[in-house]
Amino acid sequence: MTPERVERLRQVLDRRQPDLTVVTDFVHKQRNLSAIVRVCDAVGIMGIHAVLGEEDYQAFRGTAMGSHHWVEVFDYTSLDRALAPLCAANFQLVGAHPGKDSRDYREVDYTRPTAILLGAERQGLSDESRSRVDVPVSIPMVGMVGSLNVSVACGILLVEAQRQRQLAGLYDHRRMDNATYQRLFFEWGHPQVRDFCRARDLRYPMLNGEGEIDDPSSWYASVRAGTAARWGERADG
């Protein structure tokens, strides 16, 4: 990698927000999901949680591969499985759903660990989602149209979250753990080797200070000899 590429990857990783995410509740249209992933990348979200049927997810991956390089998408077939780890980590659940009890989306403190729940294009949040939400929010509108496209609504909410977090200094320093940082730096910088290792259940090779594989000849020789470290093995052999 060029020094400029290494610096670019590190700048983006240093601004990722591990405690901000999006949960989509059966948002089926691939173009909307893809747009949501792109918005998430733009504001520094590391991963989103998509509740989808199996066929919907496979179709989605076929249209969003470019965005998938930078934002991990975790797929689920039930809302409870998507929310369980977030609730265990004390994320507040902010649901985009207009109604009498909804608050203006700008009144929410997005500097807290936050998951934004987005519903399907026409139905909005499901009854189950609404029962799990901590804070329902709405986007004030003054036109004849009563709702926004789900990806547009996502962008509006996340730009507000980004604004608040920038003011709080949450983009000013690295916030993810070192193991995740090093893994993502490798995967983003060496996607072909990443895919090679995944297909063979191999641990990623070490990188040097320039972001390149340290002693690549020796590593490839260990792969051919069948002695390269595998996932699940102790790092010290």
pLDDT tens, position by position, 65-77: 455 789 999 989 8
Question: What is the pTM for the complete model shown?
Answer: 0.88
Q: Confidence class of residue 61 from pLDDT cuts 50, 70 and 90?
A: low
Edge-first strand order for the sheet with 114-119 is 72-76, 47-51, 20-25, 114-119, 92-96, 135-138, 103-104
Candidate from 53-57, 87-91, 136-140 with smallest mean pLDDT: 53-57
Q: What is the C-alpha to C-alpha distance for residues 26 and 37, in angstroms, rounded to an integer?
A: 15
Q: What is the C-alpha to C-alpha distance for residues 194 and 86, in angstroms, rounded to an integer?
A: 27
Question: Going from the N-terminus, what domains does the chain have, and what CATH number goes with each?
Answer: 1-16+174-237 (no CATH), 18-167 (3.40.1280.10)
pLDDT tens, position by position, 82-117: 999 999 999 999 999 887 889 999 999 999 999 999
Of 51 and 237, the one with more pLDDT: 51
Of 227 and 55, the one with more pLDDT: 227
Q: What average pLDDT score do residues 188-200 get?
A: 95
Q: What percent of the chain has pLDDT over 90?
A: 71
pLDDT at 7 > cutoff 50:
yes
